[in-house]
Amino acid sequence: MTKCPVCAENFKKKDMDGLTKHFIMMNDRNDAFHVGWLREYVPLDNYNTPNFAKSLASFFSVIDGDLKGWIERVFVEKFLGDKPHPFVEAMQKPKKALFLGFASEYYFFLKQKIKSCSFIIAKTDKEEVQKFEAKIIFSELSGTNGESAGSESSLLVRMAESLGVPRDSIVNGVPLPPTIHSIKLWNQVSESDHWLEVMGSINTLDMLPSKVMRERGAKFDIYNKSVLDNEWIPDHVKKFLTYIVDPKNDHSQEALTLISKYAKELDMIEDVQSAFLRSIDAFDRHLQARLTRSKQFEGK
Ligand SMILES: [Zn+2]
């Protein structure tokens, strides 16, 4: 591990002892972020026993260099497992307010995604990585059919419009503080860290709507397919929902293959794990913000 997955403090490569001691110290100090992280990822009754070092090492252990498999397992468990993320749970039986909360917060995530992918292009000489990121940027800006009307953010805005919220309130709105903080983290990683850490941070989040996750143990899809049969849901909402799960727009597997390949080649598995873990906690808070935001639309 080279960076703490909570506070990004630096450790020497493979210095698991240093990271273990750091976690024990932060746990003894009752630091809410480190304590919360430990409870979620390495749950133990007592962290002051030799068992903790073993459990922490086992959480980070990547079997046969399969970083892709490790990332998928951790992501599925956190967002799509038996106890899915509350946002995913709400999406199984969505209400109008939920789509509006989704649109109001996610719009700003999409803007940051374009910037983060651009940082990766600027920071690497690997053409296959540049091509991959360019493909994502163009699809976010112009849609997969090359029409600006079909980009994900324009579909998102039209979804909100079809539910009675004008374009201006989405585009010129201000996201809630958790989304603002999460975007700051993604932007800071993009500006300061290695391009592979940026990939581990931003390109992994596309797993949420990916249909492939079912084959990786996911118990839920981002929404229940039967949602599309609901007559009260306007066509523009259905268009957006169909777009996000369309395998044609799913770049997550390609991203994970590239990340895993270069993490091995550049000896950066631990760096990517840390960037990914910090990112999914930011993503968790952003998804919570979509729910909080939806409450503001209830009854409207
Ligand atoms: Zn830390």
Give 65-83 as a DSSP string: G-HHHHHHHHHIIIIISSS
The yes-or-no verdict on residue 166 having pLDDT over 60 is: yes
Residue 139: the pLDDT is 87
Distance (angstroms) between ligand 1 centre and the Cα of 270 equals 14
The helix or strand, by DSSP H or E, that contains position 9, with its residue range, turns out to be none
Residue 149: the pLDDT is 58
Per-residue pLDDT averaged across 254-278, rounded?
Answer: 97
Distance (angstroms) between ligand 1 centre and the Cα of 75 equals 20
Distance (angstroms) between ligand 1 centre and the Cα of 86 equals 26
Distance (angstroms) between ligand 1 centre and the Cα of 209 equals 30
The yes-or-no verdict on residue 1 having pLDDT over 80 is: no
Distance (angstroms) between ligand 1 centre and the Cα of 272 equals 16
Residue 150: the pLDDT is 77
Determine contact, residues 279/198, Cβ cutoff 8 Å.
Answer: no
The yes-or-no verdict on residue 112 having pLDDT over 70 is: yes
Distance (angstroms) between ligand 1 centre and the Cα of 15 equals 14
Residue 142: the pLDDT is 81
User: Taking Cα atoms as reference points, which of 134, 136, 133, 138 lies closest to residue 148?
Assistant: 138
Query: Would you give the DSSP letter of residue 260?
Result: H
Query: Would you give the DSSP letter of residue 3?
Result: B
The Cα–Cα gap between 88 and 7 comes to 27
Distance (angstroms) between ligand 1 centre and the Cα of 67 equals 22
pLDDT tens-place string over residues 54-109: 999 999 999 988 999 999 999 999 999 999 999 999 999 999 999 999 999 999 99
Q: What is the CA radius of gyration of the chain?
A: 19
Residue 144: the pLDDT is 65
Distance (angstroms) between ligand 1 centre and the Cα of 41 equals 14
Distance (angstroms) between ligand 1 centre and the Cα of 73 equals 22
Residue 2: the pLDDT is 80
The yes-or-no verdict on residue 145 having pLDDT over 90 is: no
The yes-or-no verdict on residue 179 having pLDDT over 90 is: yes
How many helices (H) and strands (E) in the chain? 14, 0
Distance (angstroms) between ligand 1 centre and the Cα of 295 equals 33
The Cα–Cα gap between 144 and 140 comes to 8
Per-residue pLDDT averaged across 198-216, rounded?
Answer: 97
Query: Residue 241 has which token pair?
Result: 């929902």
Distance (angstroms) between ligand 1 centre and the Cα of 105 equals 28
Distance (angstroms) between ligand 1 centre and the Cα of 69 equals 25
Query: Residue 162 has which token pair?
Result: 């079809």
Distance (angstroms) between ligand 1 centre and the Cα of 188 equals 17
Residue 281: the pLDDT is 97
147 — pLDDT class (breaks 50, 70, 90): low
Distance (angstroms) between ligand 1 centre and the Cα of 8 equals 6
Distance (angstroms) between ligand 1 centre and the Cα of 92 equals 35
Task: Give the pTM.
Answer: 0.95
The yes-or-no verdict on residue 181 having pLDDT over 60 is: yes
Distance (angstroms) between ligand 1 centre and the Cα of 37 equals 10
Q: What is the mean pLDDT of the chain?
A: 95
Distance (angstroms) between ligand 1 centre and the Cα of 117 equals 26
Query: 3 forms bridges with which residues in the sheet?
Result: 10
Distance (angstroms) between ligand 1 centre and the Cα of 283 equals 18
Distance (angstroms) between ligand 1 centre and the Cα of 182 equals 17
Query: Residue 180 has which token pair?
Result: 């603002």
pLDDT tens-place string over residues 13-41: 889 999 999 999 999 999 999 999 999 99
Residue 26: the pLDDT is 97
pLDDT tens-place string over residues 34-64: 999 999 999 999 999 999 999 999 999 999 8
The Cα–Cα gap between 281 and 5 comes to 10
Residue 146: the pLDDT is 53
The Cα–Cα gap between 215 and 267 comes to 28
